[in-house]
Amino acid sequence: MNEQTGSNFAIMEATNLDFYYGQVHALKNVNLAIRAHEVTALIGPSGCGKSTFLKTLNRMNDLIEDVRIQGKVTFEGEDIYAKGTDVALLRKRVGMVFQKPNPFPMSIYDNIAYGPRIHGIKDRKRLDAIVEKSLKGAALWDEVHDRLRKNALSLSGGQQQRLCIARVLAVEPEVLLMDEPTSALDPISTQKIEDLIVELKEKYTIVIVTHNMQQAGRISDKTAFFLKGEIIESGETDAIFQTPQDQRTEDYITGRFG
Ligand SMILES: Nc1ncnc2c1ncn2[C@@H]1O[C@H](COP(=O)(O)OP(=O)(O)OP(=O)(O)O)[C@@H](O)[C@H]1O
């Protein structure tokens, strides 16, 4: 397959990545390639650096004081930490969904139209089309099409999380970063989000932090196991779960620690 244009090329790649919060060395020489149109799961015990790594992929950590990063993260071959990088554009192309659904306290419609409006789209018909397409993309349209003017906070938790996914889709990202997107949801909503993630990888590349081993096994193509800031092992999800090479990976996935 052609390295740059095939569906399986490394759309993002971290090389020799170190990250510090002041004196805390949160990521240690992390190397990971994120392949296009795959779901990559980041697993590992609490505090091992999964969220920190996820946030290095769209520079969300820039917002925190006294952080330092060494090494390289590329997006489509370009160093995202290079001087002159348009960080707003990076965050549009590499969107993020958080653990707790966080809709804005405004209508369903305005939640989705918010990003496109910021990026200069004012035309009502175009916005209508974006809202419809994004809600359909997040498998929420059928449930809300007749109440787009209702406050988004009136939706259930699972619907709110799909709204947050629709909000990210509205600005047409290429990569979706998801930080434990189902941890606050009931099993039925979780199932809906999992089905949606599998559907979304046709169009997008997805990186997901999860504490749920079954979830990682069900939805991801690749898995990276983090421990104390390092990647101990990464590769095909089936291989990581069935034939882990490192004893610590096996101990974690079989529930012996963490
Ligand atoms: N804003 C911050 N300031 C200082 N230290 C931080 C900050 N955020 C995270 N850390 C530290 O960095 C390390 C990695 O944290 P991180 O949140 O990336 O872990 P995690 O694997 O995502 O954990 P969890 O599964 O509990 O969400 C931890 O030691 C944590 O205490």
Q: pTM, whole model, 2 decimals?
A: 0.93
Q: Whose CA is nearest to atom 12 of ligand 1?
A: 26
Provide the pLDDT for residue 1: 42
Q: Is the pLDDT of residue 222 over 80?
A: yes
State in Å: Cα 44 to ligand 1 middle: 12
Residue 50 beta carbon below 6 angstroms from any ligand 1 atom: yes
User: Whose CA is closest to atom 24 on ligand 1?
Assistant: 46
Q: From the CB of 182, is ligand 1 less than 6 Å away?
A: no
Q: What would the mean pLDDT of 205-232 be, rounded to a whole number?
A: 96
* Nearest alpha carbon, ligand 1 atom 16: 49
Residue located nearest, by CA, to atom 26 of ligand 1: 46
Ligand 1 atom nearest residue 52's Cα? 18
What are 16-63's pLDDT values in tens digits? 999 999 999 999 999 999 999 999 999 999 999 999 999 999 999 988
Does residue 7 register a pLDDT over 70? no
Nearest ligand 1 atom to the CA of 51 is 22
What does the alpha-carbon distance between residue 245 and residue 52 come to, in Å, rounded to a whole number?
25
Give ipTM to 2 decimals: 0.97
Nearest residue (CA) to ligand 1, atom 9 = 52
Query: Tens digit of pLDDT for each residue in 178-191?
Result: 999 998 888 988 99
The answer to whether 92 and 173 have CB atoms below 8 angstroms apart is yes
Residue nearest atom 20 in ligand 1 by C-alpha distance: 47
Q: Is the CB of 30 under 6 A from ligand 1?
A: no
Q: Which atom of ligand 1 lies at the shortest distance from residue 22's CA?
A: 4
Cβ–ligand 1 distance for 64 under 6 Å, the answer yes
